[in-house]
Amino acid sequence: MKLEQVELKATNPLLASYMANGDLASFFHYNQTQEAFEQRLQDLEKHPVRRAQLVNVIRQFMAPYGLSEQDKKHLAELEQNAVTVVGGQQAGLLTGPLYSVHKAITVIVLAKQQRERLGIPVVPVFWIAGEDHDIDEINHTFTNTLVKTTYGENTRVKKQASYTEIDERQLTEWVTDVFKTFGETAYTSALLDDVLVEVRKSTNFTDFFVRLMHGLFKEHGLLMIDAANRGLREYETPYFEQLIEHSEQIAKVVTAREAHLVDLGYPMPIGATEDAANLFYTEDGARYLLTRKDGKFINLAANVQFTAEQLKEEVRTNYCLSNNVVTRPIMQDCVFPVLSFVGGPGELAYWSTLKEGFEILNMKVPVFTPRLNITFITSHVQALLEDLQISAKDVLEGKIETLRQAFKERVYDREAKQTIESTKRLLDQQYETLHEHLIQNDLHLNAIVDKNLTFHKAQLDFMLRKIEQEVLLKHEVAMRRFDDVEHEVLPLGAFQERTFTPYPFLNTYGPDLIEKIVTLDYTIDGRHHIIYL
């Protein structure tokens, strides 16, 4: 296994500006330097955390999944003086796209690096967005043939992932069908059995997600917590009360900051409005976005309206609130002593609107660390790249189509094309002579002549296409190399981490693949990481 780190052409202006400490730097409290981590650590000394209660919440949540020795060590450290590196994701099936795994790897790697550099315990935490209610975003995956396969049916009721039950029989069939597309290897049977064991134990989307992710990372002590967990909601009560109190101020500053972002030429990430409460009211597993009107928090669909004091009482007695995209980062920072948050480009966009929102609660936005971008190059693709004499970097930069066309040009029958083009020019000349003859003899047949010429040219074009098809068929095996490379490295025109789950790669290279990948020597600096398996 070999790790290569390459600089790709920037495709996300927001991320490029942030990594270069450009105009986006002023939207955050810390930049991308080791000194920023050191300053953040000092700032966290004034950050109150109810450590014993928090650790108890996490321990009770993780206990059913089996605490590893490293988990226990990190919990003990968090109860004392540890700070955290936090990342998170929705509860996707089979872990969801690979970037969920890449986030977890980044969290673990960064925590280890900062533990060494700062000389204090830094523990990795994965915050699961179990309160997310858009099930249609997480109920599917893509097979090896890039066919989207969905578990269940599209949902009508927007119920939170942690409250959306799974059907054991139906999910078993779905997982089995997906695995069939991977092909049979020495690892397939045991790997499938392991996943199906977790299916039988799981009750909802989040439960299944945690079981698989914990199985992949438990030896690295990745602490996990579900945003929809009742114990966490209870712990968050005083923080929800603060968010209610400052709802109007937060909405105002976030809306203004987003407008500034748009003025600089960046896309609008949230669509913030000054009447937003930026909180959801939850009931029977469903959640309803609250807005503020006439001094009250309302949602017409749920038929609820509360004064601020009534909503606080609801929080204290029913733990009925959850966060939206604006308040989740703030809540996360209230709950944990966050040294750094690990996120993707989309998260960077909405985090860039939150600086003044954090300040309202006397906090700072933690160091935002972009997650690792990783591409796996299988041995099959590596052989194809060597055969084609192109690099993985070329493919990632979208040059595969240019290379494919260049290959076509090399093998194309130029002589046949030149002969047909020459024939078309000769026809033009002969038909022009015929036109002149007809005009001189007052014969009104020009329309028929033109139609006849068009017909012959069309036949020649048809012949040219058939010649091209025959040439490409002759070189079909060679042409397929480009398709195979693109299929694995840039499936559906995007990085593989947005399409595949880790399981096709575990099926080929074994269940310890992730363990090997976590231990590679990463530099978290915005470069793309290519791992040759």
DSSP 10: P
3-state secondary structure 299-311: ECCCCEEECHHHH
Nearest to 374 by CA among 526, 532, 530: 530
- Residue 420 pLDDT level (bands cut at 50, 70, 90): low
- pLDDT value at 419 more than 70: no
Please indicate whether residue 415 or residue 67 has the higher confidence score (pLDDT): 67
Q: Report whether pLDDT(37) > 70.
A: yes
Closest CA to 295 of 311, 271, 315: 311
pLDDT tens for each residue of 293-313: 999 999 998 999 999 999 999
* pLDDT of residue 73 exceeding 60: yes
DSSP 130: T
**Mean pLDDT within 28-57:** 95
- Residue 258 burial (CB count, 10 A): 23
pLDDT tens for each residue of 83-112? 999 999 999 999 999 999 999 999 999 999
> What are the residue ranges spanned by the domains of the chain?
48-235, 236-334+344-371, 399-489
pLDDT digits (tens, 9 = 90+) for 123-146: 999 999 999 888 888 999 998 888
**Closest Cα partner for 527 from 6, 105, 2, 13?**
6
Q: Which of 303, 296, 304, 354 is nearest to 325 (CA)?
A: 354
Mean pLDDT to the nearest integer, 335-355: 96
Q: What is the mean pLDDT of residues 52-58?
A: 98
Q: Is the pLDDT of residue 36 over 70?
A: yes
The domain defined by 48-235 carries CATH number 3.40.50: yes
- Give the rounded percent of residues in the chain with a pLDDT score beyond 70: 93
Average pLDDT for the chain: 91
pLDDT, position 479: 74
Half-sphere exposure of 215 (CA within 13 A, CB side): 20
Residue 413 has pLDDT above 60, yes or no: no
> Residue 52: is it exposed, middle or buried by C-beta count within 10 angstroms (0-12/13-18/19+)?
exposed
pLDDT of 415: 53
- Residue 325, helix vs strand vs coil: coil
- Residue 107 vs residue 154, higher pLDDT: 107
pLDDT above 90 coverage of the chain, percent:
73
Segment among 303-307, 426-430, 504-508, 514-518 with least mean pLDDT = 426-430
